[in-house]
Chains A and B, each alone.
Chain A
């Protein structure tokens, strides 16, 4: 058991997968064929022994609520534990008012009521594996008021746009938190995963609400670097950041490589998800498949190269799917040529025989339930 309340908050307004997030919150977007984005952070929490978890939803709750259910498939104890799905019930006049602070304030009673001494808070758009219980133990031993997970990266010019970056002294004490503007290669990227006492968490939330009605938790944190001891905790393993469509594409393309994926998929660290009792995948006589991740329930009759194929996808004879992500239940008809494409759920690509994205940062996107 881990003496922390888990809070999965939603991402800020700078994070946008364009049309993909028109239909669902980012946390409910399908990833790697059989998961949703939220599965990684949620599994990190339950594998760390956190049994009481609040998930905050910004908008369009349907698909996420359906996916999370009672939380039983995340290995949350059905009697002692609880998965709480929360969202702001007050109407907001403009999306800028829909902040995590506003939602914490509206749901403050549920935070105050919980018995846990600490809070582990993280968004779902950062993909990594971390044992929060270990980090909490270190946090308690240290003199820090708040611990912040970060990763030192060398591609901050190309990726992590507008993510928080940390400036730290030798003891990892954070002196400044600023947004990544893409000017430098090497940055310490904040995973926005925070560990702190519940008492301080509540204080900061209330202070943020008083300071500005469009403040986010990260904003009050950036203002508190002098008053509070905020320390960085380095993540060593894989980090994926799904902050724009190109980032979503990149994470899928990286994780279809088993050598990278095995950092996340450990036998003693299962990534839980909701399953659908799909049959195993069938590869026909004509199938040719290389360098790909394939979910269950698919029928592959064509060629699949360097791609991620979601649950129950059909790829008919003569088709070539390359460097692409096909989301669950999509249908690719005969002799279709796809390269650097994202085909959303239940879409049908049949009449159009060729689609090619310009580059990995701009994959061509076929809308959910669209028929082309």
Chain B
């Protein structure tokens, strides 16, 4: 059922190089999170739950896995006749091969797609943020204020504000100024990288930006300032709730640990706003006779015969008898052999932690990443 004429465009081309080996062969949006998800399941499920029918996903870095994953639009229920998830990697054009030079350029190069979809509004999203948000409410706010663009903002602690793109607003939440990582922030409203534009207006600005030589072709650096310069109406849309940009091994670990707090605000169990993901076959979850399991998240296909505390186990993980996993994240299909101990670590996908191996350390400041095929 076609519900509105807003087309979502998810920027999913980035590597996320601070995730080290986790993003060696897959782009950051395809990184696993929360036991059974990939990060991009969050914006995609938000779209599905917000009644958006058409989603374009702009991929670039190591895109084979990501392209084939998001193309399965039935995972998110976006497979009705008039909906779909469209994979939009860079393509060869009569002007040559068009690598995406920036966030705005990625959209500019797909204006033909947006034209074809008869978009009235365009929603720009990041493929690597974890949160739940009803974009239809944001669109309602955009329309009610007759805005040219609406930007979702999050209140961050003032002392951290200098790490973000900060929106300075008037009393009605109309944006008067945008500062990228200001040394002396005037407000604590951080841009979440979520924008709604009137498509016609955006189209004009993108075409102009394309011709500007010194532009970075970036929404934050170029497009938003250009809108402000021309006196366009930009609204701030305040978001409250869980939001996390998992840029580093530490923050990815933290985001997983956040789920172990029974009062965490992401509420993955909420049946009214489910996060949809790949439907994997395989066995149920077996907990052995001598297992110890507490304060943990464990999913289908896991076999636990050892001790698992304060940890997140992904699909198909095995923890053998006598193995101990504490304060850790074990990704899909990895095996922790008997006698091994994993503490304050992320164990990547398909990794075998060999017998009696010791990974990580209770006292370490940083989280250890174990991503080799075999870990001694």
Query: Which residues of A pack against B, CB within 8 Å?
Result: 32-35, 73, 256, 258, 261-262, 265, 267, 270-272, 275, 277, 279-297, 299, 304, 312
Contacts and interface: CB of A to CB of B under 8 A. Distances in A.
B295 interface: yes
A32 B284 CA distance: 8
B300 A296 contact: yes
B299 A296 contact: yes
Contact of A287 (B274, B294, B300): B294
Contacts of B274: 277, 279
B264 to A, nearest CB: 10
A258 B303 contact: yes
Interface string B291-303: 1111111111001
A261 B283 contact: yes
Contacts of B34: 279-280
Contacts of A297: 269
A261 B274 CA distance: 30
B83 interface: no
9 contacts: A258-B286, A265-B282, A272-B281, A281-B299, A285-B294, A289-B293, A292-B287, A296-B299, A304-B287
A279 B294 contact: no
Contacts of B285: 281, 293-296
B286 to A, nearest CB: 4
Contacts of A275: 279
Interface string B256-274: 0000001000001101001
B282 A270 contact: yes
Contacts, number: 100
B294 A271 contact: no
A152 B276 CA distance: 44
B28 interface: no
B356 to A, nearest CB: 23
Nearest to B270: A279
Interface in B105-120: none
B269 A256 contact: no
A261 B35 CA distance: 23
B15 interface: no
B81 to A, nearest CB: 15
A290 B291 contact: yes
| Nearest 9 pairs of A and B residues by beta carbon | A280-B35, A280-B299, A270-B281, A279-B268, A265-B283, A258-B286, A291-B289, A285-B295, A280-B297
Contact of A283 (B269, B283, B284, B296): B296
B303 A282 contact: no
A289 B300 contact: no
Nearest to A285: B295
B36 interface: yes
B46 to A, nearest CB: 14
Nearest to A43: B281
A295 B293 contact: no
Contacts of B269: 279, 282, 297, 299
Given A258-B303, A270-B282, A290 B294 contact: no
B298 A280 contact: yes
B188 interface: no
Contact of A284 (B275, B282, B294, B303): B294
Contacts of B291: 289-290
B289 A290 contact: yes
Nearest to A35: B284
Nearest to A305: B289
A293 B262 CA distance: 22
B318 to A, nearest CB: 10
A296 B282 CA distance: 13
A328 to B, nearest CB: 12
B103 interface: no
A287 B286 contact: no
A290 B293 CA distance: 8
A281 B286 contact: no
Contacts of A283: 293-298
A215 to B, nearest CB: 39
A46 to B, nearest CB: 11
Nearest to B316: A267
B288 interface: yes
A295 B284 contact: yes
A112 B290 CA distance: 55
A267 B292 CA distance: 26
A312 B281 CA distance: 18
Interface string B1-39: 000000000000000000000000000000000111000
A279 B273 CA distance: 11
Of the listed residues A32, A272, A279, A304, the one surrounded by the most CB atoms of chain B closer than 10 A to its CB is A279
A280 B294 contact: no
B277 interface: yes
A195 to B, nearest CB: 26
A292 B289 CA distance: 8
A261 B289 contact: no
B38 to A, nearest CB: 14
A106 B227 CA distance: 70
Contacts of B276: 277
Contacts of A73: 279
